[in-house]
Amino acid sequence: MATHLTLEPTELPADAIEVGRIADAWGVKGWFKVLSHSSSPEALFSSKQWYLLPSERGAKTFTGTVLLPIRQAKDHSDTVVAWAQGIDDRNAAEALRGARIFVPRSSFPSTTEDEYYWVDLIGLSVVNREGVALGQVRDLLSTGPQTVLVVAYEQDGKPQERMIPFVSAYVDKVDLPGRCITVDWQPDY
């Protein structure tokens, strides 16, 4: 039996950030499992409206960007489960499988001092205390006990990367408005 999804077409907000994707149906009442891109999925819980884009591969049950009003989202074991308006049975939830979830950056919960969202750090310039440019943050890696900045730079025309632990021992200052991170690090480390 094919389920017809009635999702409201919309525009993706300019500050939309991809925060996860829908994994599969959960139960029979329209709940679904979400694979969060973050170990702390507060952005999923704080936003009452998710913007969905279809999966890059597999069957597409909708096209373009659609708005998904969230009734409830919660932690369950090691995953997140959610329930949305208009998704009232297992078939409807299965039809969302693979959809990419975006929420506006403006709806993320505020951070405390010395706490940053990874998405805000990507693309920042990295300089050391002496003002030497070390590159740009391309990615962040969680190594368990700490997070590591993956800093991309060029040397002799070849792309390189350096790993700098994102800990207070090496990171002096994060200037989000100035789009720069100052570190105690040397180019030859």
The mean per-residue pLDDT over the stretch 41-67 comes to 88
pLDDT beyond 70 at 97: yes
- pLDDT, position 1: 42
Is the pLDDT confidence value at 122 over 50?
yes
User: What average pLDDT does this structure show over 27-38?
Assistant: 92
Mean local confidence (pLDDT), 8-29? 93
3-class SS at 57?
coil
Judged by average pLDDT, the poorest of 4-8, 24-28, 56-60 is 4-8
pLDDT computed for residue 95 by the predictor: 92
Does residue 112 lie in a domain region? Answer: no
Q: Are residues 34 and 98 in the same domain?
A: yes
Last residue of a domain, one of 75, 107, 139: 107
CATH code of residue 151: 2.30.30.240
Q: With 60 as the cut, is the pLDDT of residue 2 above it?
A: no
CA–CA separation, 55 vs 11, rounded Å? 17
Residue 5's pLDDT band, with cuts at 50, 70 and 90, is low
* CATH code: domain of residue 21: 2.40.30.60
Total number of domains constituting the chain:
2
Give the residue among 75, 13, 71, 84 at the shortest CA–CA distance from 41.
75
Q: Is residue 188 part of a domain?
A: no
Q: With contact defined as beta carbons under 8 Å apart, do 127 and 183 qualify?
A: yes
Q: Which tokens in the block code for residue 30?
A: 């329209």
Judged against a pLDDT cut of 50, whether residue 74 lies above it is answered with yes
Q: Which domain holds residue 176?
A: 118-183
- From its phi and psi, is residue 179 left (phi > 0), alpha (psi between -120 and 50) or beta? left
41 domain residue, yes or no: yes
Residue 144 above 80 pLDDT?
Answer: no
Q: Which residue bears the tokens 């507060």?
A: 42
Residues making up the chain, counted from first to last: 189
Buried b (16+ CB within 10 A) or exposed e, 97-130: bbbbbbbbbebbeeeeeeebbbbbbeebbbbbee
